[in-house]
Copies of this chain bind each other. A is one copy, B any other.
Amino acid sequence: MRTNRVTIQTVAEKAKVSIKTVSRVINKEKAVRASTRDRVKAVIDELGYKPSPAARALAGHTSKIIGLIYDNPSAAYVLDVQTGVLKSCYSEGYNLLIHPCDHSSDKLAEELISLVQKSRLDGLILTSPICENEELLTKLIESKIKLVNIGALSKNAAVSSVSGNDADVVKQITLDLVEKGHSEIGFVFGHIDHDSAHLRFSGYKQALVEKNIPINQEYIVQGDFSFESGVECGKHLMNLEKMPTAIFASNDYMAAGVLKAARDRHLNIPTDLSIVGYDDAPVSRQIWPSLTTVRQPIQQMSEYAAGLLFKKIIDSTVNTEHQVFNSELIFRESVKQLD
């Protein structure tokens, strides 16, 4: 295997400096004379030198690898998160290890700790509904693992996070329904392990309270973010003596399920029933009528989250930060103004 690999040694010799100086240039350290730096850089380019990650990791006690942990039903969501995180990784010189898992496993803490130790990860990005598990967070923090949450705030002082303004935006969308004449509004609850499910419900409630509309428990149905649960919840709401005139489903899959249930009952959407979803999933545009929904800037959020993690890796005393990203309402065909 003794190909003439170009190492830091080769560069040093050709640039007539010590390997330490080459190391300084690679690591963008300040204390290098500009002319020296330029010379070393030129040699690096000329030789096509790429520092060995293994050697750097071994000597520097940092792998420059982080892990992304997820267990989310939406493929589009997961891919957006990956894309955002990767973007940040590329620009900061980190590599990413993805790790899908079962958020309800009672061995998840051990699984993740073992993952971090085995692959010497510098930190972990946790997504919903994993980052909602405070007990898990505590165990990970006890194991000195650097953490950032995407999608849920933590009470743990060591955990930074990014999240959306779910409550606000659902409040807005509910107010909009009310202003369009709807007062019987069904609510399909998301999977209870997700913070966002509760936040979205709180927005719905806030809007009704503000408009002095009594909250009808019959109109609140428990789903789990799946299409199938949307169908069931939709059926249930349509079987009520007094069916709602509008239904907010806590994500687009469930909204699509409600739409399916409506179709099966030969209801016309939005004439007979208005439907609102959440997430701007591809399906929200691929069904007919297309869904009024909410778009979160998932990629940006994820990119930012990775940045927070890198900061914490470099300086573990950095302040914990909770960044909220605003979502955008997208009005499409599935909502009707009542007369």
Contact = CB atoms under 8 A, between A and B. Distances in A.
A253 B286 contact: yes
A38 B283 CA distance: 55
Chain A binding surface, main DSSP class = helix
A53 B76 CA distance: 32
Interface stretch (A114-122, A145-153, A199-207): A114-122
Number of copies: 2
Given A86-B98, A264-B288, 9 more contacts: A50-B118, A53-B54, A54-B54, A54-B63, A54-B120, A86-B100, A96-B97, A256-B287, A286-B287
Contact of A54 (B58, B86, B253, B286): B58
Interface in A280-305: 282-283, 285-288
A104 to B, nearest CB: 18
Q: Max chain B CB contacts within 10 Å: which of A82, A86, A259, A288?
A: A288
Interface residues of A, number: 41
A97 B120 CA distance: 15
Given A79-B79, A286-B287, A287-B287, A55 B53 contact: no
A34 interface: no
A1 interface: yes
Interface in A8-66: 48, 50, 52-55, 57-58, 61, 63
